[in-house]
Structure 1
């Protein structure tokens, strides 16, 4: 190679390699400081796209777990209210049994019926007042198959991502008891015959209420299993996303040290290359 002063080719070459090494050192520094292998689409465009999809699913699954837990809280609210309805129905049957025997007078049965009707009114009050986040649960508003949807999945498939919640009407009239209902067997216990008929009506009311509670219990168990599955999915997706996105610290530290040495060598060689034209001046002088 000729010794010239107009063009310092060796210095240009050293500067180019120094810029490349310095850029690689900067990239390695960014990865080490952020903990991420992919900090921009320039690092890995395909990997970035996959990572962002995974991140969106992970975030959605986390919210799905919260939704399912809210659903369980709602079910527990309804079931707790129905446990109180249980007590009232049991008391009403006790009163019907009392009025069904022949040792009480009509006036005494009228007094018994007053409490019987009070219990029926309380059942209706509980059904009308029980709500979760302003949503009434037991007054028949949720008796339709699609009245409430608990959504927990990342998509919108009716078989995979959501449950329809149905809760029957639990007012006294819907259960067929008390004087707010149709004049059927459970209407009153003011006479011995009516009290005897009310026993059967109360059995039917208790059975209807038990079916509602059984359905709620089954759905709560299902949501518990769903939460467990969602948490497992989220953990596995998080692990997969980490494999794509997170930096391998040991490997990157090795690369960082390598680029650091190359950069230092590039600086030294550039300095040497920049001194070459001085040798030409020595020949001229």
Structure 2
């Protein structure tokens, strides 16, 4: 038979312990609802928190990778646009040279074609000189290649080779001072122009392939980042529907605990009846 004592109320002690446990669980649930996290610190789950922090670092690093790839894409896009303009201008030069190679053409008309030819020729150099992005130019011969980060720890890179489209180079073999004054000299430029046009087309194809590779990797990095973020969520995110139901249950349990403690505290008053 339990001992009735005013000094030690065992029932109240047990009720208080249970109430404190309920209050602790309630606070934990409220924190999860407020933050949306079931693991908000190392105290909640050290292993899960450490893994999540490591993966958050990777996600953050992948932002830098995406920025690097985006810059590389912009560099290649500018180079490609310049290359397309050069190809168009080479085609115009061929048209001028072909027209000037007509022996029936009078000297005045040939001189006008020569002036147009030289103007377009000089415009090629201007176009190439201004085809830079972020200080990088892949078509004027000043740059050998451009690299972009490919992974979160910087151990892998993507490289896009430059295509030197400068006049008098290995791709555009037309000399920077090329011109004509007679029908025969104009005709002599046609083979050079044909070769240059074909070579520029090949160079543009290489730039296009490289640009596609960078775009594909940028898309992959974005998907990888999303997958890692989802994985982090699986580790640390709280199930709010579950926590909401748990909150209601704990609030009810808290109220019952308070009542149980109140009843336990009143139990010692029955001792007074023994002395009436």
Do both share a fold (TM > 0.5)? yes
Kindly indicate whether the alpha-carbon contact (under 8 Å) linking 2:79 and 2:137 is maintained by their aligned counterparts in 1.
no
Match of residue 162, structure 2, among 151, 163, 167 = 167
Partner of 1:183 in structure 2? none
Shift of 1:284: 4.4
Match of residue 151, structure 2, among 150, 153, 174 = 153
Shift of 1:110: 5.0
Partner of 1:184 in structure 2? none
TM-score (norm 1): 0.83
Shift of 1:121: 0.9
Mapping for residues 1-285 of structure 1, pairs under 5 Å: 1-62=2-63, 64-104=65-105, 109-142=110-143, 144=144, 147-158=145-156, 162-174=157-169, 175-180=172-177, 187-284=178-275
Deviation per residue, 1:59-97 (Å, 9 max, x gap): 444554454344333322222222221221111112222
Q: Give the 3-state SS of the residue equivalent to 2:168 in structure 1.
A: helix
Deviation per residue, 1:10-30 (Å, 9 max, x gap): 322322221111010110111
After superposition, the CA RMSD in angstroms is 2.6
Kindly indicate whether the alpha-carbon contact (under 8 Å) linking 1:120 and 1:178 is maintained by their aligned counterparts in 2.
no
Shift of 1:206: 1.6
Partner Cα separation in structure 2 for residue 148 and residue 73 of structure 1: 11
Q: Across the two proteins, how many residue pairs are aligned to each other?
A: 273
Shift of 1:193: 4.1
Shift of 1:192: 4.0
Kindly indicate whether the alpha-carbon contact (under 8 Å) linking 1:72 and 1:223 is maintained by their aligned counterparts in 2.
yes
In terms of mean alpha carbon deviation, does 195-204 or 97-106 score higher? 97-106
Deviation per residue, 1:172-198 (Å, 9 max, x gap): 233232444xxxxxx332344433332
TM-score (norm 2): 0.85
Kindly indicate whether the alpha-carbon contact (under 8 Å) linking 1:63 and 1:152 is maintained by their aligned counterparts in 2.
no
Q: 1:271 to 1:216 in 2, by over 3 A?
A: same
In terms of mean alpha carbon deviation, does 123-132 or 250-259 score higher? 250-259
Kindly indicate whether the alpha-carbon contact (under 8 Å) linking 2:61 and 2:153 is maintained by their aligned counterparts in 1.
no
Q: Give the 3-state SS of the residue equivalent to 2:158 in structure 1.
A: strand
Structure 2 residue ranges without an equivalent (≥5): none
Shift of 1:256: 2.4
Partner Cα separation in structure 2 for residue 36 and residue 267 of structure 1: 29
